[in-house]
Structure 1
Amino acid sequence: MIEAWAVRIPKRQGEERRQELIRDGFIAGNLRPQADGDDLLIPVTGSPPGTERALFKQMQTAPPLPRHEQVGGIAIMQENDPRGAERILAARPSTHTVLYAEGAVEGEFRTKTFSVLAGTPTTRTCYLEYGYRFTIDLGSAYFSSRLSTERQRIRSMMNDGEAVCDMFCGVGPFPITLANRAGWILACDKNPHAIHLLIENLATNRTGNVLPMLGDAARLGEIFGERFDRVLMNLPLIAHQFLRTAAILTRPGGTIHLYALQEREGEYEDEIRSIIPDSTITERFLRSYSAGRWHAVYDIRRDL
Structure 2
Amino acid sequence: MQVKRWCLPVDKSVGEQTRKQLLEEGVLDRLCRIRSDGDNLLIPVTKYIEGAVCEEFSCIPSKTVLPRFEQVGGIAIMQEDDKIGAEAVLASKKTYHTVLFADSAVEGPFRTKKFRVLAGIDTTATEYTEYGRHFFIDLSLAYFSARLSGERQRILSMMNEGERVIDMFAGVGPFAIALAGKASVVYACDINPEAVILMVRNIAKNHLTNIVPILSDAMNLPVIITQPADRIIMNLPLHSIPFLEAAFSMTRPGGMIHLYALVSHEEEYVPVLRTFPLKKLEHRYVRSYSPDRFHVVYDIIRG
TM range (shorter): 0.7 to 0.9
Who is 1:289 aligned against? 289
**Contact 1:225/1:248 (<8 A) preserved:** no
Who is 1:103 aligned against? 104
Separation of aligned partners in 1, 2:249 and 2:215: 19
Which amino acid letter does the alignment assign opposite residue 153 of structure 1?
Answer: R
Separation of aligned partners in 2, 1:227 and 1:239: 19
Which amino acid letter does the alignment assign opposite residue 228 of structure 2?
Answer: R
Deviations 1:44-73 (Å, cap 9, x if unpaired)?
Answer: xxxxxxxxxxxxxxx854121111111110
Who is 1:259 aligned against? 260
1:183 aligns with 2:206: no
Separation of aligned partners in 2, 1:133 and 1:205: 6
Separation of aligned partners in 2, 1:68 and 1:215: 33
1:196 aligns with 2:197: yes
Separation of aligned partners in 2, 1:107 and 1:283: 28
TM-score, length basis structure 1: 0.79
Give the CA deviation at 1:148: 0.4
**Contact 1:226/1:248 (<8 A) preserved:** no
Who is 1:84 aligned against? 85
Who is 1:152 aligned against? 153
**Contact 2:254/2:279 (<8 A) preserved:** no
2:274 alignment partner, SS class:
helix
Deviations 1:97-119 (Å, cap 9, x if unpaired)?
Answer: 01011121111111110001111
Give the CA deviation at 1:278: 3.3
Who is 1:43 aligned against? none
Give the CA deviation at 1:226: 4.9
Who is 1:63 aligned against? 64
Separation of aligned partners in 2, 1:128 and 1:228: 28
**Contact 1:168/1:233 (<8 A) preserved:** yes
1:278 aligns with 2:281: no
Which amino acid letter does the alignment assign opposite residue 179 of structure 2?
Answer: L
**Contact 1:229/1:255 (<8 A) preserved:** yes
Which amino acid letter does the alignment assign opposite residue 300 of structure 1?
Answer: I
**Contact 2:100/2:115 (<8 A) preserved:** yes
Give the CA deviation at 1:301: 0.2
CA RMSD in angstroms, aligned pairs only:
1.3
Separation of aligned partners in 2, 1:249 and 1:134: 28
Who is 2:118 aligned against? 117
**Contact 1:286/1:295 (<8 A) preserved:** yes
1:147 alignment partner, SS class:
helix
Separation of aligned partners in 2, 1:87 and 1:264: 37
Q: What are the residue-to-residue correspondences of 1:4-19 with 2, within 5 Å?
A: none
1:220 alignment partner, SS class:
helix
Give the CA deviation at 1:270: 1.0
Which amino acid letter does the alignment assign opposite residue 111 of structure 2?
Answer: R
Deviations 1:209-267 (Å, cap 9, x if unpaired)?
Answer: 00000001001112224510000000000111100000011011100000000011211
Give the CA deviation at 1:82: 1.3
**Contact 1:233/1:256 (<8 A) preserved:** yes
Q: How many residues align?
A: 245
Which amino acid letter does the alignment assign opposite residue 161 of structure 2?
Answer: D
Q: What are the residue-to-residue correspondences of 1:43-62 with 2, within 5 Å?
A: 60-62=61-63
**Contact 1:76/1:99 (<8 A) preserved:** yes
Separation of aligned partners in 1, 2:128 and 2:61: 28
Who is 1:300 aligned against? 300
**Contact 1:273/1:279 (<8 A) preserved:** no
User: What percentage of residue pairs aligned between the two structures are identical?
Assistant: 55
1:253 alignment partner, SS class:
strand
Which amino acid letter does the alignment assign opposite residue 114 of structure 2?
Answer: T
Unaligned regions of 5+ residues in structure 2, if any? 1-15, 17-59
- Higher deviation after alignment, 68-77 or 224-233: 224-233
1:80 alignment partner, SS class:
coil
**Contact 1:89/1:96 (<8 A) preserved:** yes
Give the CA deviation at 1:279: 2.7
**Contact 2:278/2:300 (<8 A) preserved:** no
Who is 1:74 aligned against? 75
Separation of aligned partners in 2, 1:277 and 1:230: 15
